Amino acid sequence: MHAVAYLNDHYLKLKAGYLFPEIARRVREFGQEKPGLAKNIIRCGIGDVTEPLPDAAIEAMHRAVDELARRESFRGYGPEQGYDFLRDAITEHDYRSRGLEVTPDEIFVSDGSKCDCGNILDIFGPQNRIAVMDPVYPVYVDTNVMAGHTGEADSSGAYSGLVYLPCNETNGFVPALPKEKADLIYLCYPNNPTGATATRSQLESWVEYALASEAIILFDAAYEAYITDGNVPHSIYEIPGARKCAIEFRSFSKNGGFTGVRCGFTILPKELNAATKSGESKPLHPLWHRRFSTKFNSVSYPVQRGAESLYSKAGQEQVRSLIDHYLGNARILAAALQKTGLSVYGGINAPYIWVKAPAGYGSWAVFDKILNDIQVVITPGAGFGAQGEGFFRVSAFNSRENAEAVADRFQKVKW
Ligand code: MLT
Note the pLDDT of residue 15.
82
* 15-19, 149-153, 397-401: least confidently modelled range: 15-19
Decide: 262 and 110 in contact? Cβ < 8 Å: no
CA atoms within 13 A on the CB side of 324: 6
Q: Does residue 1 have a pLDDT over 80?
A: no
Cα 146–151–156 angle (5° rounding)?
95
Residue 17: which pLDDT band, with cuts at 50, 70 and 90? Answer: low
Give me the percent of the chain exceeding a pLDDT of 90: 94
Written as one letter, the residue type at 162 is L
Note the pLDDT of residue 339.
97
Q: Does residue 19 have a pLDDT over 90?
A: no
379-380 β-sheet, strand order: 344-346, 352-356, 391-395, 379-380
Q: Does residue 3 have a pLDDT over 90?
A: no
Decide: 192 and 222 in contact? Cβ < 8 Å: yes
Confirm or reject: Cβ of 47 under 6 Å from ligand 1.
Answer: yes
Average pLDDT, integer, range 320-329: 98
- The minimum-distance atom of ligand 1 relative to the CA of 46 is 2
Decide: 391 and 367 in contact? Cβ < 8 Å: no
My answer on whether omega of the bond before 286 falls inside 30° of 0, hence cis, is no
Q: Does residue 5 have a pLDDT over 90?
A: yes
Give alpha helix (H) positions in 162-244: 200-213
Q: How far is the CA of 1 from the centre of ligand 1 (A)?
A: 43
Q: Does residue 18 have a pLDDT over 70?
A: no
Q: What is the mean pLDDT of the chain?
A: 96
The residues that bridge with 166 in the sheet, in sequence order, are: 134
- The minimum-distance atom of ligand 1 relative to the CA of 222 is 8
* 153-162, 185-194, 385-394: least confidently modelled range: 153-162
CA atoms within 13 A on the CB side of 345: 25
- The minimum-distance atom of ligand 1 relative to the CA of 251 is 8
Note the pLDDT of residue 174.
98
My answer on whether omega of the bond before 240 falls inside 30° of 0, hence cis, is no
Note the pLDDT of residue 157.
84
pLDDT tens, 98-145?
Answer: 999 999 999 999 999 999 999 999 999 999 999 999 999 999 999 999
Measure the N-to-C terminal CA separation of the chain; round to a whole number of Å.
Answer: 56
Note the pLDDT of residue 304.
98
Q: How far is the CA of 161 from the centre of ligand 1 (A)?
A: 25
Confirm or reject: Cβ of 192 under 6 Å from ligand 1.
Answer: yes
Note the pLDDT of residue 156.
80
Q: Whose CA is nearest to atom 3 of ligand 1?
A: 47
- Which of 162, 143, 175, 132 has its CA nearest to residue 18? 143
Q: How far apart are CA 329 and CA 80, in angstroms?
A: 38
Q: What is the pTM of this model?
A: 0.96
Q: How far apart are CA 108 and CA 271, in angstroms?
A: 16
Mutate to test the pocket of ligand 1, among 22, 48, 354, 378 (most ligand atoms within 8 A of CB): 48
Q: How far apart are CA 175 and CA 259, in angstroms?
A: 28
- Which of 262, 229, 264, 226 has its CA nearest to residue 396? 226
Pairing state between β 264-267 and 246-251: antiparallel
Decide: 88 and 307 in contact? Cβ < 8 Å: no
- Which of 259, 232, 263, 219 has its CA nearest to residue 397? 259
Question: To which H or E segment does residue 400 belong?
Answer: helix 400-410
Q: Is 132 helix (H, G, I), strand (E, B) or coil?
A: strand
Domains of the chain listed by start with CATH number: 10-52+314-410 (3.90.1150.10), 57-312 (3.40.640.10)
Decide: 159 and 150 in contact? Cβ < 8 Å: yes
Q: How far is the CA of 139 from the centre of ligand 1 (A)?
A: 9
Q: How far apart are CA 279 and CA 46, in angstroms?
A: 42
Q: How far apart are CA 304 and CA 64, in angstroms?
A: 9
Note the pLDDT of residue 4.
87
Note the pLDDT of residue 20.
81
Q: Whose CA is nearest to atom 5 of ligand 1?
A: 47
Confirm or reject: Cβ of 112 under 6 Å from ligand 1.
Answer: no
Note the pLDDT of residue 142.
94
Confirm or reject: Cβ of 349 under 6 Å from ligand 1.
Answer: no
Residue 16: which pLDDT band, with cuts at 50, 70 and 90? Answer: low
Mutate to test the pocket of ligand 1, among 192, 253, 259 (most ligand atoms within 8 A of CB): 192
Pairing state between β 246-251 and 162-166: unpaired
Residue 236: which pLDDT band, with cuts at 50, 70 and 90? Answer: very high
CA 69 vs. chain centroid, Å, equals 35
pLDDT tens, 26-51?
Answer: 999 999 999 999 999 999 999 999 99
Q: Does residue 342 have a pLDDT over 80?
A: yes
Q: Does residue 332 have a pLDDT over 80?
A: yes
